[in-house]
């Protein structure tokens, strides 16, 4: 881990891989329990976790909420086509999407649309409001196609290491 720059692909040893797998299952596990799970001393485990954090492999620790229990009933996949393809319009659109709490994910894509968004809203009406007031007012947007999720079949946050 020493000398690794953020953003580089890291060669992970078996301990680092085991640490990452365990933390993806339970980010609140104590260092003592994590060390026991991966077969390291607590101090060696702590150093490796800190190194993974410092290198940017572990970006943050978070809670995963049940969307329905907090009033977020709709997941919408919005496929956005841009009228012009320029660096400035892409940067401007990306920055606008970063500021929208409803936008859970935003990707520049290949295919029929230029951008795909995963949007979480309380209702169809709330999505309509987001579409009218944010997306349709964004510079360079020429077309939007929206797909509403009927039900979720799989949701996973752990990367397959």
**Alpha-carbon gap, residue 100 to 89, rounded angstroms:** 17
* Sequence-separated (6 or more) residues with CB below 8 Å from residue 144: 78, 79, 80, 81, 131, 135, 136
Residue-averaged pLDDT of the chain = 95
The pLDDT assigned to 4 comes to 61
Residues paired with residue 145 on neighbouring β-strands, in sequence order: 79
What is the three-class DSSP state of 37? helix
Backbone φ and ψ of 115, nearest 5°: -140, 140
Closest CA to 50 of 1, 10, 8: 1
The pLDDT assigned to 134 comes to 98
User: What does CATH list as the number for 1-63?
Assistant: 1.10.10.10
Tell me, which fold does domain 67-148 have in CATH? Answer: Alpha-Beta Plaits (3.30.70)
Read off the pLDDT band of 5 (50, 70, 90): low
The pTM of this model reads: 0.88
Which tens digits make up the pLDDT trace of 99-146?
999 999 999 999 999 999 999 999 999 999 999 999 999 989 999 999
């Amino acid at each position: 881990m020493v000398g690794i720059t953020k953003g580089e692909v890291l060669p992970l040893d078996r301990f680092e891989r085991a640490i990452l797998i365990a933390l993806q299952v339970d980010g609140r596990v104590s260092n003592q329990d994590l060390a026991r799970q991966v077969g390291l001393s607590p101090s060696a485990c702590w150093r490796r976790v800190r190194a993974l954090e410092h290198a940017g492999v572990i970006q943050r620790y978070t809670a995963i909420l049940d969307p329905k229990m907090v009033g977020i009933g709709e997941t919408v996949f919005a496929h956005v086509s841009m009228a012009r393809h320029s660096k400035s319009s892409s940067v401007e659109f990306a920055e606008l999407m970063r500021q929208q709490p409803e936008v859970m994910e935003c990707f520049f894509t290949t295919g029929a649309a230029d951008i795909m968004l995963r949007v979480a809203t309380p209702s169809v009406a709330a999505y309509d409001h987001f579409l009218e007031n944010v997306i349709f007012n964004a510079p360079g947007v020429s077309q939007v196609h929206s797909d509403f999720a009927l039900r979720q079949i799989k949701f996973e946050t752990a990367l397959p290491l």
